[in-house]
Amino acid sequence: MNGINGVTQLAFSDVWRVMAPEILLVLGGFLILVLDLFMNKESSRRLSPQLGILFLIAAFVMTIRNFGLVSDQTAGGTGELLNLSNMLYVLDDFGNVFKLLFTAGTALVLLMSIDFFKQNPEVKVAEYTYLMLFATTGAMVMASSLDLITLFVGLELLSISSYVLVAMRRNHAKSAEGGMKYLVIGSIASAMALYGMSFLYGVTGQTNLAYGAQTVIQMWLQFKPLLTLAFLLMLIGFGVKVSLVPFHQWSPDTYEGAPNPVTAFLAVVSKAAGFALILRTFLWGFSGVFGDVYIYLVILAALTMVVGNVAALSQKNIKRLLAYSSVAQAGYLLLPLAVLGKGKSIDNIWLALGQTSFYLVAYLFMTMGAFAVLTVVTRQAGNETLEAFRGLWKRAPFLAVSMAVFVLSMAGMPLTAGFIGKFYIFLGTINTEMYWLGGLLFATSAIAFYYYFGVLKAMFLKDSAVQSHDKIQVPVSLTVTIAIGLIGTLALGIFPDLLMKFLNGLHWFGQ
């Protein structure tokens, strides 16, 4: 594939093989953009989310096809990943799993948005939709590139789109505030990550993680402080994105200010993308020296679990509560990677990736569902406090039970996906003999039970604060979202092997 003078020759078929989902999403985004530009000002653009969902589904299907490509490639036995431009962009099951997550997550977000547009006519529908698609493309790049520069471009594509999405309700002070805060803190994060990358480049002389990893091992003894600094700066930069403590402070404000679907997007897709980036960068770039740096991940994971859960205790606003809970979840999600430093066997890497992915899928279902319920309930009550949920059981049993399932799943109640996810991560800490981390996971989950309990109590044990006994109208799009969340949460909770078997059989990094 290599051409002369270090210039790599590409072929259309290669690009299509490796990047089909990304290409589809970009095409979809630009199609909506062009339509939006050239359509009459007055004509309705309300079908754009549906169009966006169509493209996401197409990308989803393409990703599923890609699993086949990867297993064909590994069966071929060349030992080389399907890649573009000398490992600049790769196709492996790690990226595929995350792409499935991103496309499914964004599709659900757009589904929820249909109702959001009806309630907020001032929001520009088409703009919103293509920003979502571009953001998702950015997330995909973060999951599939092996080059620091391309990774960074993906990160920025996702981030900048997200900043705008958060501030989409222009007349809404909190929305603008949230967007502003996210922008400022996000920029600090990007700068830090970039600074860290520059150190990595400085020491290894290349931006490619696949080749850089070897140099990192060679240079480790000489440049330990410098490389550690690079690692930490990148960790901090990415840590802001996935809201690890103490880099989490933007998230409650931003989550609160953002429109509900965008909050769900940030909580699920953006966070998953951040983890894809973290796993990609550290497992490739630093895999050789992971035993020396994992302790910082452990520290941050522990801090995040504790602070996220403790801070959530005193929250009265349900969106802030979910924000802190999502901070806490970031801590759980970091655990499988963090404990890898101790157990060095390669088997543990695939196990850790399986744990993270499983939890992310579970998290996708429960978070999407919770936000859909939240949207309906807070709108009817006119506020976003826990009070809005009082007596929900009487007013809308279906909503109350669904919310109960989602909340219990987040808390880690057996028979729900969240339990299996946590349990799986927990076993990971046990397998690597990091008992105290497992204990911390368990203890913080116990705290979590307490505040999730507040939601349950409000729904089931209290009388409604809302006097009206009107039936709550649930729009079809939200009903579908809730149903998908419910089915996913329960199915994975009762038959986890459905997903687990699939994850266990993957060629994560094309091994």
Q: How far is the CB of 112 from other proteins (least distance, A)?
A: 26
Decide: residue 17, CB within 10 A, 0-12 exposed, 13-18 middle, 19+ buried. middle
Query: DSSP letter at 283?
Result: I
Q: How far is the CB of 362 from other proteins (least distance, A)?
A: 13
Residue indicated by tokens 């995350």: 98
Q: Are 133 and 265 in contact (CB under 8 A)?
A: no
Q: Which amino acid is at 367?
A: T
Q: Residues of 209-240 as b/e, b for ≥16 C-beta within 10 angstroms?
A: bbbbbebbeebbeebeeebbbbbbbbbbbbbb
Q: Which amino acid is at 134?
A: F
C-beta of 57 vs 296, nearer to other proteins? 296
Q: Which amino acid is at 4?
A: I
Rg of the chain over Cα atoms, rounded to whole angstroms, equals: 22
Q: How far is the CB of 115 from other proteins (least distance, A)?
A: 26
C-beta of 57 vs 479, nearer to other proteins? 479
C-beta of 71 vs 431, nearer to other proteins? 431
Pairing of strands 89-91, 82-84: antiparallel
C-beta of 300 vs 466, nearer to other proteins? 300
C-beta of 112 vs 351, nearer to other proteins? 351
Tokens of 128: 């919103």
Q: How far is the CB of 119 from other proteins (least distance, A)?
A: 25
Element (H, E) at 51: helix 48-76
Between the alpha carbon of residue 52 and those of residues 46, 133, 295, 442, the distances in Å are 11, 7, 42, 40
C-beta of 379 vs 462, nearer to other proteins? 462
Q: How far is the CB of 493 from other proteins (least distance, A)?
A: 10
Q: How far is the CB of 226 from other proteins (least distance, A)?
A: 8
Q: How far is the CB of 113 from other proteins (least distance, A)?
A: 22
Q: How far is the CB of 111 from other proteins (least distance, A)?
A: 26
C-beta of 27 vs 57, nearer to other proteins? 27
C-beta of 331 vs 496, nearer to other proteins? 496
Q: How far is the CB of 341 from other proteins (least distance, A)?
A: 14
* End-to-end C-alpha distance for the chain, whole angstroms: 21
Query: Which residues here bind other proteins, judged by CB under 8 A?
Result: 3-5, 7, 9-12, 30, 33-34, 37-38, 177, 180-181, 184-185, 188-189, 192, 205, 222, 224-226, 228-229, 232-233, 236, 240, 245-247, 249-250, 253, 292, 296, 299-300, 347, 351, 397, 413-415, 420, 424, 426-427, 430-431, 438-439, 442, 446, 460-463, 496-497, 500-501, 504
Return d(Cα 375, Cα 384) in angstroms, integer. Answer: 9
Q: Are 422 and 302 in contact (CB under 8 A)?
A: no
Phi (first) and psi of residue 84, to 5 degrees: -115, 145
Return d(Cα 261, Cα 165) in angstroms, integer. Answer: 10
Return d(Cα 245, Cα 196) in angstroms, integer. Answer: 19
C-beta of 38 vs 171, nearer to other proteins? 38
